[in-house]
Structure 1
Amino acid sequence: MTKIFAHRGMSTLAPENTLSAFSLCKQHGIQWIECDVDILADGTVVISHDDTLDRCTDCSGSLYDLTKDNLRDIDAGSWFHDDFIGEKIPTFDQLITLVNKHKLNLNVEIKSCTSGWKMTSRLLDNVIQALEGLEPNRELIVSSFNHLALSEFKRRRPNTPIACLFEDANLWEDWHSILEACQAEYIHPEDINLTKDKIDKFRSAGYKVNVYTVNDLARANQLFNWGVDGVFTDIAQQFPSKYKKQ
């Protein structure tokens, strides 16, 4: 069955990577969500695409200077719409609770932690610990652009399916070697310049293919006809019922 991943939640209806954005998935019949995880100074895993606050909150500065207590004073919703004034940056534990409640499936993108390997390793440990709270019947994929971190995640939690993320600019001919080294089950390529020939090669090598970020229904239809398993999109609410849970 083809998959529609709500990229950072329903990110054109609510501020990205917030509980509001993820909560909207159920009412729109979307079963899969994609989120980004990073770490605070005290080890708290949070949902955030950026490692700074500047773009999606009312504050400025680095995530790596914050603790969990700081989150209560940061508004992650008023930039988007008045309806979301006071929205908070969620912790990963909070998202796990929401996913279990709404019976959603989860793609977790581990961010390439820019504060060094020590914090990256701590991020992996704390993500793995939080995932123990995920109900066993929830489907899960863990992905990353940082293939070293992803390989280490797989070593620590070998039964979790993982996906190597690639931008068009670094999707070189060694992709197969990288997926083998990581022991990945999925490849998640960028949509730009993606061809049927490339997809055929991924599938012939035995990998499942989910493509990001597809915000055009005709392009999504073309990709599905080429055999991709899923697409990440900011406009999940616009996809017709054939792609949604009935």
Structure 2
Amino acid sequence: MKTLFAHRGMSSLAPENTLAAFSLCRQLGIQWIECDVDILADGTVVVSHDDTLDRCTDQSGNLAELTKADLNDIDAGSWFHDDFIGEPIPTFEQLITLVNQHELNINVEIKSCSAGWAMTDKLIANVITALAQLDTGRGLIVSSFNHLALAEFKCRRPQTSVACLFEAASLGDDWESVMQACGADYIHPEDQHLTQAMVARFKSAGYKINVYTVNDLARANQLFNWGVDGVFTDIAHRFPSKYKLRGK
């Protein structure tokens, strides 16, 4: 089964990493979602790609300086479309509730916390606490570009499948050593400069491959024909029905 991951939810139809974007997935036949998690000053885990508010809300500032109470005053939807005025930044616990209700599977990307290792350590711990609320039977992958954080997560929650994220520029000859150090089951390489020979090397080493971020149907088809297992995309709704859940 070739897997589509709705990158930050249905992020071309609703503001990224919001409950609105994730809520669209099930009705559009998308089984897997991808989200990013970071941490506030009080330890609250939130769903956000950036560590600042500037790009995707009506405010400016750093997540590391906020508390859960501050989320009530932040609009994460009005920048995208009037239909989403007042859409909040969700907490990770709120997203897990939605995932359980909609029977989705989830790829959780742990961000490289800019507030330092102490906060990264707390992020890992609080993500693990929240994941205890995820229904059994829900698919789960935890990924990160921060391979030290990913290895630490895997040590603390060994039952969870983890994936090493690599930018094209950082995918060096030591990639397999990094994968082994993290106990990774998946490699998540950047689409740019990815070749059929590279895919073959990953597969021959026994790893599953999910590629980010693929917004071209022909390129996705090519990657799947090379043996890639999944792609992250902002346009999951535009993919043909063979990639989607039947009857949804």
TM-score by length of 2: 0.99
Q: Cα distance, 1:20 vs. partner?
A: 0.1
In the alignment, what sits opposite 1:213? 213
In the alignment, what sits opposite 2:54? 54
In the alignment, what sits opposite 1:90? 90
Runs of 4+ in 1 over 2 A off after TM superposition: none
Question: Which amino acid counterpart does residue 113 of structure 2 have in structure 1?
Answer: C
Following the alignment from structure 2 to structure 1, what is the Cα–Cα distance between the partners of residues 154 and 26?
29
In the alignment, what sits opposite 2:20? 20
Question: Which amino acid counterpart does residue 147 of structure 1 have in structure 2?
Answer: H
In the alignment, what sits opposite 2:63? 63
Question: Which amino acid counterpart does residue 187 of structure 1 have in structure 2?
Answer: I
Q: Cα distance, 1:120 vs. partner?
A: 0.2
Q: Which whole-Å deviations, capped at 9, do the CAs of 1:193-215 have from their partners, x for residues lacking one?
A: 00000000000000000000000
Following the alignment from structure 1 to structure 2, what is the Cα–Cα distance between the partners of residues 205 and 26?
33
In the alignment, what sits opposite 2:159? 159
Question: Which amino acid counterpart does residue 38 of structure 1 have in structure 2?
Answer: D
In the alignment, what sits opposite 2:235? 235
Question: Which amino acid counterpart does residue 100 of structure 1 have in structure 2?
Answer: N
Following the alignment from structure 1 to structure 2, what is the Cα–Cα distance between the partners of residues 42 and 181?
31
Q: Cα distance, 1:122 vs. partner?
A: 0.2
Following the alignment from structure 1 to structure 2, what is the Cα–Cα distance between the partners of residues 183 and 100?
27
Following the alignment from structure 2 to structure 1, what is the Cα–Cα distance between the partners of residues 105 and 240?
19
Following the alignment from structure 1 to structure 2, what is the Cα–Cα distance between the partners of residues 136 and 229?
23
Aligned residue for 1:6, secondary structure, equals strand
Aligned residue for 2:25, secondary structure, equals helix
Aligned residue for 2:89, secondary structure, equals coil
Matched, 1:6 2:11: no
Residues 1-246 of structure 1: matches in 2 within 5 Å? Answer: 1-246=1-246
Following the alignment from structure 2 to structure 1, what is the Cα–Cα distance between the partners of residues 219 and 39?
35
Aligned residues: 246
Q: Cα distance, 1:138 vs. partner?
A: 0.1
RMSD: 0.3
Q: Which whole-Å deviations, capped at 9, do the CAs of 1:60-88 have from their partners, x for residues lacking one?
A: 00000000000000000000000000000
Following the alignment from structure 2 to structure 1, what is the Cα–Cα distance between the partners of residues 64 and 92?
16
Aligned residue for 2:231, secondary structure, equals strand
Q: Cα distance, 1:244 vs. partner?
A: 0.2
Structure 2 portions without partners, runs of 5+? none
Q: Cα distance, 1:100 vs. partner?
A: 0.2
Question: Which amino acid counterpart does residue 8 of structure 1 have in structure 2?
Answer: R
TM-score by length of 1: 1.00
Q: Cα distance, 1:156 vs. partner?
A: 0.3
